[in-house]
Amino acid sequence: MGNVRELRSAGSVRRREALAETGELVLRAERSAPRAARHWIMRAVAAAGVHGASNQVVELLAGELVANAVLHGPSDGEVRVHVRIYQDEVRVEVTDESAARPRVQHPEPTAPSGRGMALVEALSSAWGVERLDEGGKTVWFTVETLD
């Protein structure tokens, strides 16, 4: 049986050739992982010619997904980050070993956390979750690069 997919936007499942594929960054689930992922993604996306606001949004949202994977996944687990750059969008996928599905929250303004998925929902073109047969999940988003 294949992976179960939960998609926010059917338009995001278009199959097409990536202009650039950066490979995969594998991180230990620790506090420094979001920063390392942001720097890696920022460099990869810029090297593919994506600059300006699109680059900054991709960096921010990737950091949020990796931070969630570290916070909610097993403390001894791995976090995998994959980036694909298309002609008009960037797709980032973050895979972790937790089956817990991320939730969009709208915390009080004084709450110290809980805004990450709301940012992903607000700033991405599309996002979704793919549950993996072997356990865990991949959370992904796309950002249009029409700067």
pLDDT in tens, 28-78: 999 999 999 999 999 999 998 899 999 999 999 999 999 999 998 888 899
Percentage with pLDDT > 90 across the chain: 58
Give the CA distances from residue 91 to residues 68, 96, 108, in Å, rounded to whole numbers and listed in that order.
18, 17, 30
